[in-house]
Every structure is written in C-alpha cells, then in structure tokens.
Structure 1
Amino acid sequence: MATSLLAQPRQAGSGRYTWWGFDVYQASLWVEPGFDAAALARQRYALDLQYLRNFKGRDIAQRSIDEMRRVGPFSEAQARNWLGAMERLFPDVSSGDRLTGVHLPGRGAQFYANGKPRGEIADPEFARLFFGIWLSEQTSAPQLRLTLLGQSPTAR
C-alpha cells in the first residue's frame, strides 16, 4: 500500500463519506510520527479512499475540481491542467477499490490505485487544494475532516 512511503505510518482517523444518503467511500488518513494538523503543507501523509460504489475516473476528477474550488481560488488554466492530469491518473473504480493520494511536501501528490502507482502531479498548490477537499476548514464534509484528523469523539 502507498502508506509504505511513510515513515512509521499510523492511522490518524477514518470515516465514511455519505452523500444524499448514499455511502460513497471510507476515508482513512495515515500520518507519520509528530504529525501536526496545523502544518499540513509541511508534512507527508496519505489519504486512502476505499470506494463503496462504482464511479468513472473522469467523474471523480471533475468532482475533485468542483470541491477544490471550495478550498481556494485557482485559474481556469490551472483547472484545465489539473483536470486533465487527474483524468489520466484516476481510473474507473468499483466497490472495494482504493485510490490513495500521498502528500509530498513542497512537491505535490503521488497517486495509487489498489496499491499500484498511477503517477504524480508535481504542483504544491494542486496538492494543497486537493487534500484540502478533506482536510481544510473549507471542506464540504466538516465532520469527516475532524474524524480524519482524529479530533472527533467518533474517530475510529
């Protein structure tokens, strides 16, 4: 699994994302010793999503762009570039499949599908906004954010 890229990985938290009553995925955040949620940009961590439904990779990429807009502004040129990169990296998924992103501080993000490398987007601003979908205060799923960061009584 992609968590092998982390030194002494431990699970900070895990939670289920549900949209309009449908279970979408189980998310888990894996971190290294000394992880500090207040300093996400400077840390290596892995976000693992185990899908509970089938989705097209291009739909995952488009939804990611939509959610990244909640986190912070970016240009249409960046949106086109990032969308194209994600469409190439994100495969179609079936229930049980895993997509994992590893945050590389100052560099960008590496992606894995079912533990196999898919590629990297070498852009720290992309990584900040992408992982912000789950981990920023502007997330559309604030309870899941708290659970992933281990800051909620429902953290598992």
Structure 2
Amino acid sequence: MRQLLTTRSHISRRITLAAILLALSGVASSISASPTSDFQKLGEGEMNYMFWTIYSAELFSSVSTGEQALKIEYQKSIDSQALIDATEDQWNQLGYTQKNINAWLEPLNALWPNVKPGNTLTIIVAEDQTSRFYFDDQPIGVVSNKEFGQAFLSIWLSEKTSEPKLRKQLLGLVK
C-alpha cells in the first residue's frame, strides 16, 4: 500500500511539473511573439542622415484584415521629445492642420518612451482605424482617433514624404 501511495505521489508530481512546463512554454511563446507575426512584410529600408543610420523600418500588411503595421528599429538613442518634434515637423511638411497635429501629438506625449539602439516602436493600424503602439513588442497604448493612423503612416508612405527612397523600399517598389 505504501509503495502504491509513493508511486501515485511521484506520478502526481510529474504530471504537475509537466503541466507547469507546458504552461510556461505557452507563456514564453506568447511573450516572444512579435505583434507583426501574422502580417506579410511588404518592404523594408533604412533612414540615413549623412553617413549614420538612424533607424531601419519594415512595412507589413494583413491580407485577411487590411490592417497595416510599421515597425521601426532604432540605431541611435533618441529621447521621446525629439521623436515627437520630428513627427510634428513631418506632419507640418505634409500639410496637416495645426489643430489635427496638436490632437495627434497629445497621446504620443503620454505613450512614447526614449529609445536606444536596438529598441523597436511598432504601430498597427486596425481595420477600424484604431492605432496600437508597441515598444520592443510589448503594448504601450492605443490611439483611437480614426484619422491618426493613416496620418502617422503618411510620414513614410505619402507621395509627399521627405524620404521618397525609403517610401519606395517600404512599399516594395525597389530593393
């Protein structure tokens, strides 16, 4: 009887350990999954200033939902205010109204962190035009303004972008 109880206890511990390991492997795979893993990459390119690479960027699209994603991996340290100022400059260049720009910048002030080499910022613009931001593949916030996402992507994808070569690379028009 004692041996049977010991065997049952041993089996019970092994099953519990196996369940824990299985659960942890599921957690680990969900933690390491990129927010763009279900998307198709359209293109990629780099933003260079003189002889420095500032960041590399990848544009993704979901064939089934029409969602778009832009993932930027930084090669230089940039504080969040400098990122926000650069975004404002680009929107001004594209001709958006200051009223819209101010409304769009407000959530970025709360969401965006300082970046260092190797950090990534990703935006996913959903079917309903809600924009989700990720920092190093972890969610950092949502912008629900329906015009924001396309205005943000236009910085890279508009025909009036300040970086036409990068635009073509992201759209997969050139290698």
> Same-fold call, TM > 0.5?
yes
Q: Tell me the amino acid that sits aligned with residue 110 of structure 1.
A: R
- Tell me how far apart the structure 2 counterparts of residues 70 and 2 of structure 1 sit (CA, whole Å): 30
Aligned-residue sequence identity (percent) comes to: 28
* 3-state SS in 2 of match to 1:62: helix
Number of the residue aligned with 1:3: 36
> Who is 1:55 aligned against?
78
**Corresponding position of 1:66:** 89
Deviation track 1:54-96 (CA, whole Å, cap 9, x = no partner) reads 000121111111112223322x333223222112111000000
Q: Work out the CA distance in 2 between the residues paired with 1:12 and 1:139.
A: 18
What is the alpha-carbon distance in structure 2 between the residues aligned to residue 71 and residue 77 of structure 1?
14
Q: Residue type of the partner of 1:43?
A: G
RMSD across aligned positions (CA): 1.7
> Residue deviations 1:4-41, cap 9 Å, x none?
4xxx422111111112332100100111227xxxxxxx
Q: Residues 5-154 of structure 1 correspond to what in structure 2 (within 5 A)? A: 8-33=38-63, 43-74=66-97, 76-152=98-174, 154=175
Secondary structure class of the residue paired with 1:124 = coil
Moved more, 143-152 or 122-131: 122-131
**Mapped partners of 2:62, 2:66: distance in 1:** 8
Task: Report the Cα distance in structure 1 between the residues aligned to 2:172 and 2:96, rounded to whole angstroms.
Answer: 27
Compared with structure 1, are the counterparts of its residues 69 and 47 closer, same or farther at alpha carbon in structure 2 (3 Å cutoff)?
A: same
Contact 2:69 2:123 in 1 (8 A): yes
Uncovered stretches (5+) of structure 2, i.e. residues with no partner: 1-33
Q: Which structure has the larger Rg?
A: 2
Q: Which has the higher contact order (CA 8 A, sep 6+)?
A: 1
Partner residue in 2 for 1:38: none
CA–CA distance in 1 between the matches of 2:81 and 2:66?
A: 28
Q: Which amino acid aligns with 2:148?
A: F
* Conservation of the 8 A alpha-carbon contact between 1:71 and 1:129: no
Q: Which has the higher helix share?
A: 2
